[in-house]
Structure formats: structure tokens, C-alpha cells
Structure 1
């Protein structure tokens, strides 16, 4: 996507909304069907030890519950000493990979690999009890998705 893409601007605006709503520092996940956001979650992860569980949760939401064909993952990080969000995903067959600083400005991707992988399909069946737990977790973490990109 180009620097002036309305989709990038809309994502930046939604990120500012989520920060203003108290979700600053949380991992944000959006699921898409074509260019329509069908769900969003804001999860407070305590670090890398929470990544495997969040990956499985995200894959369940993206591929099993909502059958999404795109997603955007916004992961809080530090760039030097500055707080940033790493924005990564694919929406309407367009890849996204950039960084957003604390002021909402788009920056170049730092080139590092993203520590979370949510785009791979989870090939293992999800047991019913685990699905119920993940559905309850989704209800607790759901936030309004952006109205349009």
C-alpha cells in the first residue's frame, strides 16, 4: 500500500481511537473478509510467554470462527526507547508491514521478524471445550472494528 493509501490512514485513525479508549500497549488484531473488518480484539499480553496462546486464539478467530481472508496484527514494541506499534498483515490481497510511532506517524518497518505468526492455518481440530473458552475470551476482548478502510 502506498504512503497515501486511505486504508493506511484508516488503520492509523483506528489505532488512535483504540489508544484513546485505553487500549494503548495492547496487542490488537483485526480480521477481514475482503476489505471489511469483521472483528477486532485488544489483548493485554504480558510478553513472549503469552505469544503461543495468543497465536492459537488468533488463528481460531481468523480461520475457524470468522473464515477471514485477511488480517492486521498491531503489536506494541519499542524502537530504541520509543514506544511504537508494528503493523503487519494482508487486507484485500495487499500486504502491510510498517511501524507507527506514538504520534501516529507511519515509519519504515524495522526489518525484524514479527514475533507472532497468526496467518498460518491451524491444521489441528479445536476441541469443543477449548472453542467455548476461546469464544468466551473473544467476548471479553472484542472491541469495535474500524467502520471502513
Structure 2
């Protein structure tokens, strides 16, 4: 990845239809721990944002399923939520967005094609959700999720 990607994420912001006020949040969401460990200066990486984004995604999907499917049992709601927030599904969406092009990876992770690794991609997408939330609010993060993950195909 060239130096441009470390500071200029305008292309990604265009793809995800969200412009960050705090670009550090975006950079952190795309920074893998291997990159941070190799950096000469302290660099935050995406695991904490991933934790937050995973929780927010789960909550918002659960809320929408609950509101839009009043006859589903708890078990059915859980099954459907799990299908919508699993790593395979999220990695597929991250690939469609081209997130791998923007991931900041350490040398070893790059050599192992970490930019296409499903876990790295899903984690980065969850971290982006956390970053959008911290940069804005729940309403904007829900729009981000609908636009980039669910494409309004689920009737939410």
C-alpha cells in the first residue's frame, strides 16, 4: 500500500457514502495490529473499534428484526440476526466495497494476502461501523449499515 492510502481515504469515503469528520477514526478502523506493531510511532489499530462496531451492528439488526417481525419467536430472531452479522457475510460485503485496498497491514500480513483474508475484512467492516458511530450518531451509523451492508434488500 502506498503512502497516499495512509492519509487520503477520499476514494473509500466516496464508496461508503460517508465522509468522516475525524479522519483518525477512519485510519484506525483500517489499521491492522500487525501494521501498528511495526510502526515507528504509536499507532492505534482496529480491534477496539471492531468490538464497538460488532456490538452496534448486533444491536441495530436485533432492533430492526424485532420491530419488523412481530410474530417471530426469540429463537427465530436470533437465527436471523446471526445470519446477518456473521463474518462470512460481512467479509463478502467488505470485498464488494474494496476495503482490502485500504487496509494498513504489516509486512508479514501483506505477504500472506491479508488484504483478502475474510477475518481481516469482516473485522475492518465492523471497525468502520464503530468509527462511524463515534464520528456521528446511531442514526448515521444505521444509514451506513443500510447503504453498505444490507442495500435495503431486507426491508429495514
TM-score when scaled to structure 1? Answer: 0.30
Compare the two structures and name the one with the higher strand fraction.
1
Structure with the bigger RCO (C-alpha within 8 Å, sep 6+) is 2
Structure number with larger C-alpha Rg: 2
